[in-house]
Structure 1
């Protein structure tokens, strides 16, 4: 049985409703990563012009049959993800140390992140086409340019970039060490556990590398005082294709992001909530 900090109040907060919201959020995240991976593969193999980021994924989804309904579903699912992280911020997460300040702070950061993502997707579904499908590259450069103009902005951009890069390294290490296993339900068959390990390790490492690279570009933008060095997800992924490994490295990263999408979908069934 899972242990929750805060006694019965915490258990009530992490009841059926929050568990359902969390699973909807994991499903929505999985769909987005699968779409981003598909767009990245097109860039690697066909030199496609689509945005391999959240905006491109939402646009791709909207062009499918019943696309607007699907976009609404993903947006609502992401709201569920945000509410789950909010409940962890307020009541603590699962486990004997779930109430520690550090874990609550991490959940708060995740809550803010998924709230922003959910808001952009919902805005797109509601008809603001420039919102959910906006380029993360343009958003990154515009935000970096604004912050660089602030007093101490150069230091702030560098700190945020270093934080994102550190988060990428952290994600990579946790995936490689299979830290996610502590959150999985008991009763998985050996074959299922091996499959989840392939998805979790391969997907998490690829996702971590992308975060680390994006953070590094933000630091470069701060050091050079040039917002053009800041890159969103799309430009970060395209950079992998510009390495000596060529499009094959981007292909490998894209496959890894697809694995992470499948891992998120697997967590809908196997994550202990």
Structure 2
């Protein structure tokens, strides 16, 4: 250890350790795991758009499909571990700050903390499914959404709670879509040595995929708001029913196909970020 390192404040040394190779590897594996899920959900939704039925187009359907592959159990455990790695990385950002000039700002840390909780929950559900727990990550997102909504509506001020939660999801979806359209992900990329073709691939998948993801989240939020307004928890929908509802619009199955293709592209974008994202 050189003299400069030995004089570093304790907090700085902890930060350096937290942002070391272990957390970086965890983050990159997390992007891969996220990409696999969106790729599978998008593929299942495309199947529905072109006349397929049966398989649910959500995380549960994706996990079930993955479990049916050779070495499916190993793949599920690897996927859960990757998502846990994503949660670990976001926890590191919440505690020590993210990469970039504004990574230490309180709102950035708070956002990272929220993402840590989200990915921690998703990782738990995937690992529980891999361990064979019934009703875990492989369950229907529609049923889960309706159950949570029904319990929330029974609380004092339940309609307000559900309505505000739905509105928050709508705003979050719009925020995701707008940020993707503005290509804000570019500031997080390692630009050195990136070819023009790679930049084009990242822009196509990042914009189209991010907008589709945002639209899906916003639509889920709209159904939650409707459940609050009508006091009918069954009006709430998860990913599967929300995606299927796109086929019931005047655009028909083509809108569903468009959103589904966007989710596939977001999966590809996640793979690109696994390699090119500054962590």
Q: Structure 1-normalised TM-score?
A: 0.96
| Cα shift at 1:160 | 1.0
In structure 1, what is the equivalent of residue 222 of structure 2? 216
| Cα shift at 1:12 | 2.4
Match of 1:18 among 23, 37, 45: 23
| Cα shift at 1:133 | 0.6
**Mapped pair 1:80 → 2:85:** yes
**Mapped pair 1:199 → 2:244:** no
**Mapped pair 1:28 → 2:38:** no
In structure 2, what is the equivalent of residue 3 of structure 1? none
In structure 2, what is the equivalent of residue 113 of structure 1? 118
In structure 1, what is the equivalent of residue 237 of structure 2? 231
| Cα shift at 1:8 | 4.4
Match of 1:167 among 164, 172, 176: 172
In structure 2, what is the equivalent of residue 246 of structure 1? 252
| Cα shift at 1:129 | 3.6
**Mapped pair 1:42 → 2:58:** no
Q: Tell me how far apart the structure 2 counterparts of residues 110 and 130 of structure 1 sit (CA, whole Å).
A: 23
Structure 1 consecutive aligned stretches of length 4 or more whose deviation exceeds 2 Å: 6-12
- Residue 130 of structure 1 aligns to a residue whose secondary structure is coil
Q: Tell me how far apart the structure 1 counterparts of residues 223 and 108 of structure 2 sit (CA, whole Å).
A: 27
Q: Cα deviations across residues 36-89 of structure 1 (Å, max 9, x unaligned)?
A: 011101111023111100000000000011111101110110100111111111
In structure 1, what is the equivalent of residue 162 of structure 2? 157
| Cα shift at 1:105 | 1.2
| Cα shift at 1:259 | 0.2
Q: Tell me how far apart the structure 1 counterparts of residues 232 and 95 of structure 2 sit (CA, whole Å).
A: 39
Q: Tell me how far apart the structure 2 counterparts of residues 194 and 7 of structure 1 sit (CA, whole Å).
A: 37
State how many pairs are aligned: 268
Q: Tell me how far apart the structure 2 counterparts of residues 61 and 272 of structure 1 sit (CA, whole Å).
A: 29
Q: Tell me how far apart the structure 2 counterparts of residues 206 and 235 of structure 1 sit (CA, whole Å).
A: 16
Q: Tell me how far apart the structure 2 counterparts of residues 230 and 110 of structure 1 sit (CA, whole Å).
A: 23
Q: Tell me how far apart the structure 2 counterparts of residues 106 and 16 of structure 1 sit (CA, whole Å).
A: 23
In structure 2, what is the equivalent of residue 270 of structure 1? 276
Q: Cα deviations across residues 172-194 of structure 1 (Å, max 9, x unaligned)?
A: 01100000000000221111101
- Residue 92 of structure 2 aligns to a residue whose secondary structure is helix
Structure 1, gaps ≥5 residues long: 1-5
Q: Tell me how far apart the structure 2 counterparts of residues 91 and 102 of structure 1 sit (CA, whole Å).
A: 13
Q: Cα deviations across residues 129-174 of structure 1 (Å, max 9, x unaligned)?
A: 4212100100000000000000111111111111111010000011
| Cα shift at 1:241 | 0.7
- Residue 157 of structure 1 aligns to a residue whose secondary structure is helix
Match of 1:260 among 243, 266, 269: 266
- Residue 173 of structure 1 aligns to a residue whose secondary structure is helix
Q: Tell me how far apart the structure 1 counterparts of residues 13 and 268 of structure 2 sit (CA, whole Å).
A: 34
- Residue 57 of structure 2 aligns to a residue whose secondary structure is coil
**Mapped pair 1:130 → 2:135:** yes
**Mapped pair 1:141 → 2:150:** no
